[in-house]
Amino acid sequence: MKTSQPQSTRFHNLDAIKEWTTQDADEIYQISRWGEGYFGVTDKGDLCVRPTQKENGPAINIMEVIEEMKVKNIPFPAVIRFHDILRSQVINLNKTFQATIEEAKFNGKYFGVYPIKVNQMREVVDEVVDAGAAYNYGLEAGSKPELMAALAMNTNQNSLTIINGYKDRDFLRLALLGIQLGRKVIVVVEKYTELEELLKLSAETGIEPMIGLRAKIATKSSGKWASSGGDYAKFGLTITEILQAVRHLKSIGKESCLKLLHFHIGSQIPDIRTIKDSITEGARIYAKLYKEGARIEYFDVGGGVGVNYDGTRSNSPSSINYTTKDYVADVVYMLKQICDIEDVPHPNITSESGRVITAHHSCVVTNVFGSIEIGADNFNTEKAINENILVTNMRDLVLELTEKNYQEVFNDASKLKEESISAFKLGILSLDERAKLETIYWRICRQIVAHASTDDYAPDEILQLKNQMAPQYLCNFSVFQSAPDTWAIGQILPVVPLHKLNQKPTELSTLVDITCDSDGKLDNFLSADGPTNTVPMHKLIEGEESYVGLFMTGAYQDIMGDNHNCFGRLNEVHVFCDDDDPTDFYIEEVIYGNRASHVLASLQYNPETMAQTVKSVIDQQVKRGKIRPRDGVDITDFYENCLKSYTYLKK
C-alpha cells in the first residue's frame, strides 16, 4: 500500500554553507549516521566503503569500482555487493552476544540463525554461512524451497535450522529428513494442527522431531509491521494452545521433543521499549512452561532488529532508537533476571536477525542520463502589439515581486494562469500568448522559490511549489525492481551522489526511473532535519558522466523486486577488500542480470517463436519490395540482438 509523503517539507539550507568541504557532504547526506562506519568520503570527493569500519583502515573507492566495471564492459544499472560488510555484520552480531553473555554470567549460549527470506541470493546465504561457521550460526526457512536451500547450505551439525511458516505434509517430511541427516532442524508450530500432523509423521517414519512453539504474545510493535504481534497476529499459538500442546506431549511421552519457544513481533522494530516488553513477556512464558515440565532448551526472540535507514537514530518507522549492542544487552540481561527470579535454568538464546545482517552490504548504482526541468525559460516573451491583457498583467507581476510580497504575487499569478486556461479554451487567447504567459508565470515562480528558500516562515503552499518545481533527474533503473519498499511502504533509503562530494551541489532534485509509471520515482529522502522531498545533486554537465547510489538495499529489495515494464534483475558485481591491491579491492564475481528474452520467457512468451514471427513478416516485406534484402537481414539481426540484450537503457 502506498504511503503518504513527509508531513513537513524542508529545504536543504545549502546557501548557508559558504566554504564547502567533504564534511558538509557527510552531514547533508547523513553518511556517517546511516553508514555505521562502513561508508565515508575520500579527499577527492568520491564515496568509499570502509570494510573494517575504521577511518584509517582500507577503503574501497566506489568510483574506482565503477571504472573497473566499465573496463570489463559491465553495463549499468548494477548491484554492487560488498561481501566484507556482510561478513562483518555476521561476526559483529555473534561476538556481541558472546561478549554480553560472558559479561552477564549467563549460563546459556547463543545460536543465531539467518532468515533466508531477507535475502535469498545463493551468494549472500553462502557468505553468511561461511562467516558464521565459527559461531555455529544457522539458517531459518519459511517455505519448502527455502528449507531445501537450508538443508543444502547449512551443513554445520552444531548449528540450528529453524522452520517457520505454515507447513504441509511434505514440508514437515523435509524437516524430518534434515534430522535424519544429522541436522538440528526445529519445526516451529504455528497452528495446533501442525503439531498433530508432525507427530503422526514421526510415528510413521520413526524419526523423533525437534519441536518449537510460537507464542502469540500480547506485546505489539509500532509502525508498518505492528500486526505481526498481538491477539490478531497471523502466526502463533495462544497461551491456551501452548499449554494444551505441552500437556499433550507429556501425555504421550514426547515432552523431550519440545526444544524451543519462539515469538516474533515484527520487522524493523523502531523502539527499544517494545523489545524490552516482548522479552519480559516471552521470558515469563518460558519460565512458567519450564515449571510445567517443558524442558525448553532454546529461547528464540525472533527477528525485528532494525537499521537506521534515515540516520535520525529515533523511533521513526525508518529508524531505530537503539544499537545492536543495546538490543543484545536487553535480551541477555532481562532474560537472565526473570529466569533467576523464577528459579529456572538459563536457556540458549536464538535470534532471527536478517535486516541488520544484510542491509548495508548492497547498493544500487545507476547512471543519471538527463533531467526534466519544469517551466523552461527559453521562449521569447517580448511584448507584442495588441497583446492580451492577461499576458500584460502577468508581465507586470515580475516587476512588482519582492521578498516581502512573494505570497501575494504568487496568488495573483496563479489566478491569472487559471484565467488564461479558460480564455484559451474559449478561443480568446492564442497559442503564442498562452506560451508567453506560462513562461512568465514559471519565471515568477522561480523567483518566489528563491525568496522562500531564505524565509524560515515560508507558507506551506510555497514550500509545496518548491517541490513541484524541483528538477527531475532521469536515472537508468526501475524503482519497482531495485527499491520496491520505497514505492510500496514509503521506506526511506539513502541516496548519495558517488562523486563530486568535495563540490557543493546546486540542484535540489527528485529522481525518476525509466518505467512508464508515475510512481516510478524517489521523492522521499533523508536529511539532517528529517524527511524531505528533494535531494541535493550536482548540476548535470553535457559530456560528463554522473552516477548516484541507492544504499541499504541488501534486505528484501533483491528478492521482492518485480519486472514492471519487463525490466529484469540487475547486473551484480561482488567486491572484496584486498589491502595488498593498489585499489584496496578486487571484483570476485560478476553475475549478469536478465536479458530481454529471459524476462519475456518468464511471462510465458517464447523468444524463439517471436524472432521467427518477426523474421517472417520482414521476409514478406522484402518480397513486396518494401524493404531491401540487405536491410531485411540487418533488421532481423537487430531484433534478435535486442532479445539478447540487457533490459535497461544503453549508455
- Strand order of the β-sheet with 47-49 is 39-41, 47-49, 60-61
pLDDT of residue 4 exceeding 50: no
Q: What are phi and psi of 552, to 5 degrees?
A: 60, 40
Q: Each residue of 307-320: pLDDT tens digit? A: 999 888 888 888 99
Q: Residue 233 — very low, low, confident or very high, per pLDDT cuts 50/70/90?
A: low
| Range of weakest confidence among 50-64, 159-173, 441-455 | 441-455
What's the 3-state SS for 172-241? HHHHHHHHHCCCEEEEEECCHHHHHHHHHHHHHHCCCCEEEEEECCCCCCCHHHHHHCCCCCCCCECHHH
Domain-embedded: residue 217: yes
Instruction: Report CA 408 to chain centroid distance, whole Å.
Output: 42
Distance in angstroms (rounded) separating the CA atoms of residues 180 and 188? 18
Domain-embedded: residue 155: yes
pLDDT at 266: 85
| Residue environment code for 433-450, b if the CB has 16+ CB neighbours within 10 A, otherwise e | bbebbbbbbbbbbebbbe
Are residues 107 and 205 both part of a single domain?
yes
DSSP-assigned beta bridge partners for residue 162: 140, 186
pLDDT of residue 34 exceeding 80: yes
pLDDT of residue 131 exceeding 70: yes
DSSP 3-state of 520: coil
Closest C-alpha to 550, from 488, 503, 482: 482
Sign of CA dihedral 100, 280, 299, 171: negative
Where does a domain end: 432, 462, 492? 462
Q: Residue 461 — very low, low, confident or very high, per pLDDT cuts 50/70/90?
A: confident
DSSP 3-state of 43: coil
Q: Are 602 and 566 in contact (CB under 8 A)?
A: no
In the 8-state DSSP scheme, what is residue 133?
G
Sign of CA dihedral 278, 284, 290, 293: negative
Q: Each residue of 66-124: pLDDT tens digit? A: 999 999 999 999 999 999 999 999 999 999 999 999 999 999 999 999 999 999 999 99
pLDDT at 479: 95
- 338: cell is 526473570
Are residues 325 and 393 both part of a single domain?
no
Q: Which residue has the cell 519582492?
A: 402
**Residue type for position 483:** A
Are residues 300 and 435 both part of a single domain?
no
Instruction: Report CA 478 to chain centroid distance, whole Å.
Output: 13
Domain-embedded: residue 591: no
Are residues 305 and 344 both part of a single domain?
yes
Domain-embedded: residue 506: no
pLDDT of residue 650 exceeding 70: yes
Q: Which residue has the cell 538464546?
A: 349
Domain-embedded: residue 332: yes
Q: Each residue of 419-453: pLDDT tens digit? A: 999 999 999 999 999 999 999 999 999 999 888 87
Q: What's the number of CA atoms in the CB half-sphere (13 Å) around residue 596? A: 16
Number of structural domains (the chain) is: 3
pLDDT at 8: 41
What is the arithmetic mean of pLDDT over 50-74? 95
Where does a domain end: 462, 485, 514? 462
Q: Each residue of 564-607: pLDDT tens digit? A: 999 999 999 999 999 889 989 999 999 999 999 999 999 999 99
DSSP H helical ranges for 348-388:
355-358
Are residues 423 and 343 both part of a single domain?
no
> Which residue range(s) make up the domain with 223?
85-360
Helices 122-132/144-153 angle, 10° precision = 50
What is the arithmetic mean of pLDDT over 230-250? 85
Q: Each residue of 376-430: pLDDT tens digit? A: 788 899 999 999 999 999 999 999 999 899 999 999 999 999 999 999 999 999 9
- Could you check whether the bond before residue 347 is cis, i.e. omega within 30 degrees of 0? no
DSSP H helical ranges for 292-373:
324-342, 355-358
Are residues 260 and 393 both part of a single domain?
no
Are residues 210 and 255 both part of a single domain?
yes
Closest C-alpha to 233, from 269, 286, 190: 190
Are residues 135 and 256 both part of a single domain?
yes
Q: 486 vs 40, 266, 489, CA distance in Å?
A: 24, 19, 6
Are residues 103 and 251 both part of a single domain?
yes
pLDDT mean across residues, the chain: 92
Q: How many degrees, rounded to 5, is the angle at CA 493 between CA 491 and CA 497?
A: 155
| Range of weakest confidence among 132-136, 481-485, 559-563 | 559-563
Are residues 241 and 331 both part of a single domain?
yes
Domain-embedded: residue 135: yes
Domain-embedded: residue 42: no
The domain that contains 324 carries what CATH number? 3.20.20.10
Distance in angstroms (rounded) separating the CA atoms of residues 600 and 619? 24
Q: Is the pTM of this model over 0.85?
A: yes
pLDDT at 222: 63
Domain-embedded: residue 308: yes
Q: How many degrees, rounded to 5, is the angle at CA 379 between CA 376 and CA 384?
A: 145
**Residue type for position 346:** H
Q: Are 614 and 568 in contact (CB under 8 A)?
A: no
Q: 37 vs 30, 52, 109, 398, CA distance in Å?
A: 12, 8, 28, 49
The domain that contains 411 carries what CATH number? 1.20.58.930
Q: Each residue of 252-305: pLDDT tens digit? A: 999 999 999 999 988 899 999 999 999 999 999 999 999 999 999 999 999 999
Q: Which residue has the cell 571504472?
A: 67
Where does a domain end: 462, 477, 493? 462
Q: Residue 1 — very low, low, confident or very high, per pLDDT cuts 50/70/90?
A: very low
Are residues 313 and 397 both part of a single domain?
no
Name the burial class of residue 364, with classes exposed (0-12), middle (13-18) and buried (19+) by CB atoms within 10 angstroms of its CB.
buried
pLDDT at 100: 98
pLDDT at 7: 39
Name the burial class of residue 15, with classes exposed (0-12), middle (13-18) and buried (19+) by CB atoms within 10 angstroms of its CB.
exposed
DSSP 3-state of 253: coil
**β pairing state of 298-300 and 258-262:** parallel
In the 8-state DSSP scheme, what is residue 27?
H
Are residues 321 and 405 both part of a single domain?
no
pLDDT of residue 228 exceeding 70: no
pLDDT of residue 14 exceeding 80: no
Q: Are 120 and 129 in contact (CB under 8 A)?
A: no
Q: What's the number of CA atoms in the CB half-sphere (13 Å) around residue 493? A: 28
Q: Which residue has the cell 551484480?
A: 572
**β pairing state of 472-475 and 362-372:** antiparallel
* pLDDT above 90 coverage of the chain, percent: 80
